[in-house]
């Protein structure tokens, strides 16, 4: 969590003048993370609320314009540490298709290094990566001895970002909470790797384009459609449509979402978990509880 954003949110909650400004935005654009990130994108300093309030009122025109044209598209490469154990159980080579991909940083799990607690460091085939993802592994996590063999990768997003564009990279930076300097440094390092060999990313609605893109997967590869904290932005009907499509497509479906978000998954509350943990599931069966940014993974024993 962000102590700075929490303090700002408490300040806004009792500040009628600031609430009036935010109410100028459409309801979907009034998310605290979006408004605060838009402010930071425009240069808001991480100061106590009274000073932030003064800054926000002085720069509201710019912040409002940013909030209207941008969305919360956090692209946390650390989430790949959640995906690796699940991908390890799938016969390769793999074709990765991410919906809600943002800038595609999670489409390169084979290009990062990993440190799972109690396990040797896992590196790409060509040696250690400049991006090392650390994850606290709890329970029988099936940490593999090698990264997956990825031969094709693509993504879908309503508003794709490109890490080769300075403004897009700056927006991703602004989406990282102020105190999380480690995530900010990781973002920049992962972006440099992806910029050297960017994946195919198409613009559009995931339900409208996922079949089309899945049809492009090489015949020799196993399709894995995956997403992390994406379906929460869909209405229940769109979620149900997506779940039906995943059941019909060949290959596998890897989801990491809130406990009440993905249709058809029986959630295992019999295993210790944090209230903010996400449900990691493969083909509709929960395998683990997962930290939203990939910091911890609680693998479930067989029921």
**What is the domain extent for residue 50?**
3-69
Residues 83 and 52 in one domain: no
Quick one: pLDDT at residue 74?
Answer: 87
Scan for tokens 């989801």, then name that residue: 255
Quick one: pLDDT at residue 1?
Answer: 74
Predicted TM-score (pTM) of the model is 0.91
Residues 159 and 243 in one domain: yes
Quick one: pLDDT at residue 151?
Answer: 97
CB 5, CB 178: distance < 8 Å = yes
Q: What are phi and psi of 70, to 5 degrees?
A: -125, 170
Residues 226 and 119 in one domain: yes
User: CA-CA distance, 96 to 199, in Å (whole number)?
Assistant: 10
Residues 113 and 64 in one domain: no
User: CA-CA distance, 207 to 18, in Å (whole number)?
Assistant: 37
Query: In the chain, which residues have pLDDT < 70?
Result: 303
Residues 85 and 51 in one domain: no
Among 36, 69, 102, identify where a domain stops.
Answer: 69
Residues 153 and 17 in one domain: no
User: CA-CA distance, 44 to 110, in Å (whole number)?
Assistant: 36
Residues 145 and 60 in one domain: no
CB 113, CB 132: distance < 8 Å = yes
Residues 42 and 123 in one domain: no
Helix axes 3-13, 49-58, angle to 10 degrees: 70
Spatial CA neighbour of 46 closest among 86, 7, 79: 7
pLDDT in tens, 124-140: 999 999 999 999 999 99
User: CA-CA distance, 212 to 206, in Å (whole number)?
Assistant: 10
Residues 60 and 116 in one domain: no
Residues 84 and 168 in one domain: yes
Among 15, 49, 69, identify where a domain stops.
Answer: 69
User: Quick one: tokens of 295?
Assistant: 């910091």
In sequence order, the 6+-apart residues with CB closer than 8 A to the CB of 123 are 113, 114, 129, 147
Residues 127 and 64 in one domain: no
Residues 18 and 160 in one domain: no
Quick one: pLDDT at residue 303?
Answer: 63
Helix axes 166-175, 32-41, angle to 10 degrees: 130
Q: Is 134 helix (H, G, I), strand (E, B) or coil?
A: strand
Spatial CA neighbour of 133 closest among 200, 142, 161, 124: 124
CB 228, CB 278: distance < 8 Å = yes
Which domain CATH number covers 281? 3.40.50
Quick one: pLDDT at residue 239?
Answer: 96
Quick one: pLDDT at residue 2?
Answer: 85
* Exposure b/e, 81-119, CB count within 10 A at least 16 = b: bbbbbbbbebebebbbbbbbbbbbbbbbbbbbbbbbeee
Looking at the structure of the chain, the number of domains it has is: 2
pLDDT in tens, 153-196: 999 999 999 999 999 999 999 999 998 899 999 999 999 999 99
Among 69, 86, 108, identify where a domain stops.
Answer: 69
């Amino acid at each position: 969590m962000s102590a700075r954003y929490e303090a700002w949110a408490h300040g806004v909650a009792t500040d009628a003048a600031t609430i009036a400004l935010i109410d100028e935005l459409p309801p979907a654009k009034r998310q605290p993370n979006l408004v605060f990130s838009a402010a930071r994108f425009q240069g808001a300093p991480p100061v106590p609320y009274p000073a932030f309030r003064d800054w926000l009122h002085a720069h509201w025109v710019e912040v409002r314009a940013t909030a209207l044209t941008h969305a919360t598209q956090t692209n946390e490469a650390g989430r790949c540490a959640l995906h690796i154990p699940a991908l390890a159980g799938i016969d390769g080579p793999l074709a990765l298709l991410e919906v809600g991909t943002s800038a595609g940083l999670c489409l390169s799990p084979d290009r990062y290094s990993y440190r799972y607690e109690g396990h040797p460091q896992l590196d790409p085939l060509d040696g250690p990566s400049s991006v090392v993802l650390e994850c606290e592994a709890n329970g029988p996590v099936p940490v593999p001895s090698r990264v997956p063999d990825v031969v094709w990768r693509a993504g879908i997003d309503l508003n794709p970002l490109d890490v080769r564009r300075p403004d897009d990279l700056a927006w991703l930076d602004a989406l990282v909470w102020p105190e999380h300097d480690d995530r900010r440094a990781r973002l920049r390092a992962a972006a440099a790797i992806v910029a050297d060999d960017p994946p195919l990313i198409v613009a559009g609605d995931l339900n409208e384009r996922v079949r089309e893109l899945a049809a492009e997967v090489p015949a020799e590869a196993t399709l894995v459609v995956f997403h992390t904290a994406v379906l929460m932005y869909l209405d229940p009907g769109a979620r149900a449509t997506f779940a039906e499509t995943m059941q019909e497509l060949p290959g596998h479906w890897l989801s990491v979402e809130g406990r009440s978000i993905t249709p058809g998954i029986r959630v295992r509350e019999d295993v210790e978990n944090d209230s903010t943990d996400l449900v990691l599931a493969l083909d509709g069966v929960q395998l683990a509880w997962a930290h939203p940014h990939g910091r911890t993974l609680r693998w479930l024993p067989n029921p």
